[in-house]
Structure 1
Amino acid sequence: MPIDPNAPRRLAAGGRVVLASHNRGKLAEFGAVLGAWDITVLLASDLGLPEPDETEDSFAGNARLKALAAAKASMQPSLADDSGFAVDALGGAPGIFSARWAGPEKDFAAAMRRIHHEAAANPDHSAAFVCALCLAWPDGHVVEVERTLRGEWVWPPRGSGGFGYDPMFAPRGSALTFGEMSREAKAAISHRALAIADLAAMVRPL
Structure 2
Amino acid sequence: MYNAETPSRAELPSSSKLLRSTLLAAISAIVILVAIVLPAEYGVDPTGVGRVLRMTEMGEIKQQLAAEAAADASATPVGSPASTVAAVPANAGTAVSGTPKALDVIPKTAVAPVANSTWRDELTFTLTPGEGKEIKLRMTEGDKAEFQWIVNGGSVNYDTHGDGGGRSISYEKGRSVPADDGALVAAFTGNHGWYWRNRGPSDVKVVLRTRGQYTDIKQVQ
Instruction: Say yes or no: TM over 0.5.
Output: no
Larger radius of gyration: 2
The structure with more strand, counted as a fraction of residues:
2
Q: Which has the higher contact order (CA 8 A, sep 6+)?
A: 2
The structure with more helix, counted as a fraction of residues:
1
Alignment TM class, shorter chain as reference: under 0.3
Return the TM-score normalized by structure 1. Answer: 0.24
